[in-house]
A and B are shown apart, each in its own frame.
Chain A
Amino acid sequence: KQEVTQIPAALSVPEGENLVLNCSFTDSAIYNLQWFRQDPGKGLTSLLLIQSSQREQTSGRLNASLDKSSGRSTLYIAASQPGDSATYLCAVGEAGTALIFGKGTTLSVSS
C-alpha cells in the first residue's frame, strides 16, 4: 500500500529565505506527483504536477523535482514571502486510482 510522508511537519522562516519541502513515497510505480497548497479553512489548490516521465516542473518561484528511483520529491520555494504561509501537501497518483496524500508541511513566513 502506497504511503506518502512529508518532512518537516512544520517550518518557520523569515521573509526572503529560500526553502525546501520534502516528500517521500514507498512505491515508485507512480503515474504522477502533485503539490497542492491549502490555506486555513479552505480547499486545496494545485500548484505543480509532475508526470512520471519528467524530472521537474517550475512555476514562478516554485520548482518541484521528482526522483522515482529514490521515492522522493522536493518543492523548492525561492525568496519566500508572508503570502506563501500555508500548508503544502504532496500527493501521488497511480494508474487507475485516486491521489494519495501526505499529511502536509505547514509553512510560516514572517515579515
Chain B
Amino acid sequence: DAGVIQSPRHEVTEMGQEVTLRCKPISGHNSLFWYRQTMMRGLELLIYFNNNVPIDDSGMPEDRFSAKMPNASFSTLKIQPSEPRDSAVYFCASSVPGGYGYTFGSGTRLTVV
C-alpha cells in the first residue's frame, strides 16, 4: 500500500485565491482526518469523517474552510478566500475504527502571501 497520499506537497498562493488540498486515504480505512500544524498551536484537528460522513467539524476555523469526502478514496479541503494566517502544514490521516492503524500523509505546506 502506498500509504496516505496528499497533493500538492507545496502550495504558494496569493491572498484571496482559492486553495484545494487533496487526500487519498489507505484502502480499507473508514476514518479520515484533516489536521493543521503550526509552530504556535501545534497539531490541531480541523475535521474528521467516518464512512465518508463528517462527524466533527468544530475545528474548522471559519466559513472560509470547507471539506468534502465524496467517496471512500478521496477527500478535499478547500480554503476560499485564503489569507496569510492560513499558512501552515496541512496533514491528512486515516485509520480503522478505534484509532488503530492511524497513518499520516506527508502533508501539504501552504504559504499564502
- Is B43 at the interface (CB under 8 A from chain A)? yes
Complex contact A46–B103 (CB within 8 A): yes
- Which size class do B's interface residues fall under? 20 to 34
* Chain A contacts to B: CB under 8 angstroms: 31-32, 34, 36, 42-46, 49, 89, 93, 96-104
How far does the alpha carbon of A82 sit from the alpha carbon of B82 in the complex, in Å?
39
Closest to A42 in B: B106
- Is B45 at the interface (CB under 8 A from chain A)? yes
Number of A-B contacts (CB under 8 A): 45
CB distance from A78 to the nearest CB of B (A): 25
Given the interface pairs A97-B56, A98-B33, A98-B56, the reply to whether A46 lies near B102 with Cβ below 8 Å is: yes
Complex contact B42–A34 (CB within 8 A): no
Option from B31, B42, B98, B100 in Cβ contact (under 8 Å) with A104 = B42
Interface centre among B48, B55, B99, B103 (most CB of A within 10 A): B99
A-B contact pairs, 30 of them (CB 8 A): A31-B99, A32-B98, A32-B99, A34-B102, A42-B106, A43-B104, A43-B105, A44-B91, A44-B93, A44-B104, A45-B104, A49-B99, A49-B100, A89-B43, A93-B98, A93-B99, A96-B55, A97-B56, A98-B31, A98-B33, A98-B45, A98-B48, A98-B56, A99-B33, A99-B45, A99-B99, A99-B102, A102-B42, A103-B43, A104-B42
